[in-house]
Copies of this chain bind each other. A is one copy, B any other.
Amino acid sequence: MTFPWPATGTRIEDLPTPLPVIDEDRLAANITRAQAYIEQSGKTFRPHIKTHKIPAVARQQVDAGAKGINCQKVTEAEVFADAGFEDILITFNILGTSKLARLKTLHEKIRALKVTVDSEATLTGLAATFDAERPLSVLVECDTGGKRCGVQTPQAATTLAQSIDAQPGLHFAGILTYPAVGGAQEVENFIVETVKQLKAQGLDCPIRSNGGSPDFYSAHLVPSATEHRAGTYVYNDRSMVRAGHCKIGDIAMYILATVVSRPAENRAVLDCGSKALTSDLLGFSDFGTIEGFEAARIVSLSEEHAVVDLSDCKVDFPAIGSMVRVIPNHTCVVSNLFDRMVFHRNGIVTRVEDVAARGAVW
């Protein structure tokens, strides 16, 4: 069966809800502004496609000056390679026979594939898959305080880089980190020390890749980084406003929702549940902001219902059947819930794009 995706020219007031929509002008402005900032910081920019998962949006980012793109999974990279992207960094430890085989096919297809490793175990799989005829570029992931993946010290990074360098099928291309919020100085220190130790071992470190949206406009505080990776800026969201990276008027994604119930004086129910907003709180105590009704709090979600507490809302909340616009806490995870994304300019639908890498889980 075919779901009723809207035609170009439809007014967003006439769209079915719940549905995220993307403001074309804000999207374009976000791309321009972020690209300019990273360039002014003397770095190359590598947008993370996880926020949109749409080749056409990545094309806008590359056309604006981005050097390449950042994916997290081999299957995501395949989608973007099929769409013509040639410079793809996969920031994930690729393990297992089937994923390594697909990675090799991908490497034969595009010009500049790169991956990360943070262990000898991951390196061993890569080394057994690639050969000297067409070596794969590999970066060492470093934990500079983010406490996710990554080697723990510059010394460990150097040792792993030497192991990469010793493999005929692999090319040591540099280092990479996904830092803690507020960790710019730690990143800088880690990079400087690692570059020094690598140099002592006769190894260059051409790529020093820093990343992250929570600290996006602190990228210039890491002068030793050559590249920055980030995704959320392209649409922006409530967390980016809180971080001071944008204003409410820079948020390109809204979730259109309908008031479906007004069961009690201080309670309204919207049709955007966790299947539209997700349960990501990102430190907030509620699940999104309703534009124009900021004191109305989305206090709980079930899959298809958002319960709104109107206790502190002094303005009349819309009646049953009315459409409202919800700013999500976290835009990336919303993209992952919808098969297509609707774009508009001044409320008129401009295009409907497949969220092509949604479902690319491996």
Contacts and interface: CB of A to CB of B under 8 A. Distances in A.
Interface of A: 1, 3-4, 14, 16-19, 50, 72-73, 75, 78-79, 82, 92-93, 95-96, 98-99, 102, 118-119, 121-122, 125, 143, 147-152, 258, 260-264, 267, 269, 271, 274-276, 278-281, 302-305, 307, 319-321, 332-333, 336-339, 359-362
A320 B95 contact: yes
A121 to B, nearest CB: 4
A149 B332 contact: no
A83 to B, nearest CB: 10
A17 to B, nearest CB: 7
Contact of A92 (B122, B260, B279, B336): B260
A359 to B, nearest CB: 5
A149 B260 contact: yes
The A contact surface, by secondary structure, is: loop
Given A98-B16, A258-B95, A269-B148, A303 B276 contact: no
Given A280-B279, A307-B147, A78 B1 contact: yes
Best-surrounded residue of A50, A121, A303 (most CB of chain B within 10 A): A303
Nearest to A14: B98
Given A72-B304, A320-B119, A4 B263 contact: no
Nearest to A302: B148
Given A95-B320, A263-B152, A336 B337 contact: yes
A292 to B, nearest CB: 20
Contact of A4 (B95, B276, B278, B362): B362
A2 B23 CA distance: 31
A360 B269 CA distance: 20
A118 B263 CA distance: 7
A67 B305 CA distance: 25
Oligomeric state, in copies:
2
B321 A260 contact: no
Contacts of A147: 264, 267, 307
Contact of A93 (B18, B125, B261, B359): B261
B3 A359 contact: yes
Nearest to A81: B1
Contact of A260 (B18, B50, B95, B280): B95
A82 B1 contact: yes
Contacts of A79: 1
B149 A16 contact: no
A318 to B, nearest CB: 11
A133 B321 CA distance: 27
B274 A278 contact: yes
A96 to B, nearest CB: 7
B260 A151 contact: no
Nearest to A269: B149
A359 B339 contact: yes
A116 to B, nearest CB: 10
Contact of A320 (B1, B121, B152): B121
A191 to B, nearest CB: 18
Contacts of A1: 75, 78-79, 82
Contacts of A96: 16-17, 258, 321
A270 to B, nearest CB: 11
A338 B361 contact: yes
Nearest to A260: B93
